[in-house]
Amino acid sequence: MKFNTESKILFWSHLILALFLTWQLFDLITLLNDTSSKYAFLPNELNNAAFYESTPALIPKIIHQTYKTDAIPEEWKEGQRRCKELNPDYEYILWTDKMAHDFIKREYPWFLTNFENYPYPIQRADAIRYFILDFYGGIYLDLDVGCSRSLDPLLTAPAFVRKTVPTGISNDVMGSVPKHPFFSKTINSLKKYQNNWIVPYITIMYSTGPLFLSVIWKQYIRWGNPESGIVKIIMPNDYKSGPDAFFKISKGSSWHQGDASYLVLMSKHIPLTVFAGFIIFFIIIGVEYSLVYLINTIFGAKIARTWKIITGKFNDLFVSIRTILTGYKPVVQNEDKRKKIQNKVRKSRKDSNLPTRSMLADLEKNVDIHDQIGEE
């Protein structure tokens, strides 16, 4: 099967694009391989009082929560109250926007400009929790996360997060010792991931949110870590769905914008979404093919000549470099002349119409050929 020029251009351009995207999004792709169960808390660690009461607590007894002011909405006050009641010996800190800004300015001034330039408030709310855990340690909880039991069993790990569905980890429940290498890596990666992906939901999720944290976690565990640097995972059954779950979730704040509703709608109609995706894909391919065909029709000859000149220059440069390095200079002039002469012979035979003229042309050409070869 022979492919025309346009098809070849589309094939190679899409192959290069696919390789580039695979390289850029490799960590995101690795999330398809869910390895969270390997790092999960064991039932004995969380539900055997003899075990966790005899195991030293590593994480400081501090509960951190964040809100724009200290006047939190009524629907979250019950969860806040329960966390304080079930953990009476814990220090409780509610971080307001002003406190968060002052903290970053004082302790992490290198990040202040980035912190202030986040376009969405939720990005600052996401970022501040990582810095708080890196500096103070303790347990961070979203305001819509209420406690169902004491948090003491979680303190035996140097750090923990919770598994999210279908893969990856979330940032609504986290705990850590101060300066844990995972959270140090997290805060040092925020600048790199501070990009605008046009769609607000994706921008937030992949710059500071759970998707960002999941990617950093995948990078962190790739080459293994010492026991002191491990990050334990709270599985869904221990998070909120099991009989001994630690948390109860109340109605949370909707930071999602209009684009999120479309993503939710798509997730509820997956077959239709896949079908629509294929239609859009083939439309894009058709448009690309038409554009390439149009460009090739109008500028194809000029592009080919330019490309031939460029490749010729590179070839000459390569030959010059090889000559300088090895002292060897290939002799191709005579061979090139012979090929040109042979082409002239074939062309004269093909283009001659009358037998006598073709014979005369052949004789004349052959004489010229022998003369030229003799001269060489």
* Per-residue pLDDT reduced to its tens digit, 246-257: 999 987 654 544
101 or 292: which leads in pLDDT: 101
Instruction: Report residue 299's pLDDT band, with 50, 70 and 90 as the boundaries.
Output: confident
Half-sphere exposure of 122 (CA within 13 A, CB side): 20
Q: What is the pLDDT of residue 101?
A: 97
Instruction: Report residue 130's pLDDT band, with 50, 70 and 90 as the boundaries.
Output: very high
Q: Phi and psi of 28, rounded to 5°?
A: -70, -40
Average pLDDT for 239-263: 70
DSSP state, residue 128: H
Among 174-188, 231-245, 276-290, 316-330, top mean pLDDT goes to 174-188
Residue 215 gets the label, from left (phi > 0), alpha (psi -120 to 50) or beta, of alpha
Q: How far apart are CA 132 and CA 162, in angstroms?
A: 18
Instruction: Report residue 267's pLDDT band, with 50, 70 and 90 as the boundaries.
Output: low
Domain chopping of the chain, boundaries:
1-30, 33-268, 269-327, 333-375
Average pLDDT for 299-315: 80
Q: How far apart are CA 129 and CA 140, in angstroms?
A: 7
> What does the block give as tokens for 330?
């290939």
Q: What is the pLDDT of residue 336?
A: 57
Q: What is the pLDDT of residue 370?
A: 44
Q: What is the pLDDT of residue 13?
A: 77
Instruction: Report residue 335's pLDDT band, with 50, 70 and 90 as the boundaries.
Output: low
- Look up the pTM and report it: 0.70
Q: What is the pLDDT of residue 355?
A: 47
Dihedral sign computed on CA atoms, order 280, 286, 289, 291 = negative
358 or 79: which leads in pLDDT: 79
Element (H, E) at 301: helix 270-326
Instruction: Give yes or no for a contact between 290 and 10, defined as CB atoms under 8 angstroms apart.
Output: no
Q: Could you give the strand order of the β-sheet that contains 232-234, starting from the edge strand earlier in sequence?
A: 91-95, 62-66, 138-141, 169-176, 159-163, 232-234
Q: How far apart are CA 80 and CA 150, in angstroms?
A: 13
Residue 154 has pLDDT above 60, yes or no: yes
Centre a 10 Å sphere on the Cβ of residue 222 and count the other Cβ atoms it contains: 10
> What does the block give as tokens for 209?
């949110």
Q: Look at 199-213, 267-281, 349-363 and tell me which has the smallest mean pLDDT.
A: 349-363
> What does the block give as tokens for 293?
């065909």
Dihedral sign computed on CA atoms, order 41, 46, 47, 48 = positive
Q: How far apart are CA 84 and CA 94, in angstroms?
A: 12
Residue 331 sits at the vertex; the CA angle it makes with 325 and 336, to the nearest 5 degrees, is: 135
Instruction: Report residue 350's pLDDT band, with 50, 70 and 90 as the boundaries.
Output: very low
Q: pLDDT over 90 for what percent of the chain?
A: 46
Q: What is the pLDDT of residue 369?
A: 43
Residue 313 has pLDDT above 80, yes or no: yes
Q: What is the pLDDT of residue 373?
A: 44
Q: At which residue do the structure tokens 């058709």 appear?
A: 286
Q: At which residue do the structure tokens 């600048």 appear?
A: 191
Residue 59 has pLDDT above 70, yes or no: yes
Instruction: Report residue 365's pLDDT band, with 50, 70 and 90 as the boundaries.
Output: very low
Residue 360 has pLDDT above 60, yes or no: no
Q: How far apart are CA 257 and CA 280, in angstroms?
A: 24
* SS3 at position 193: coil
Q: How far apart are CA 329 and CA 20, in angstroms?
A: 38
Question: What single letter denotes the amino acid at residue 40?
Answer: A
Give the CATH number of domain 33-268.
3.90.550
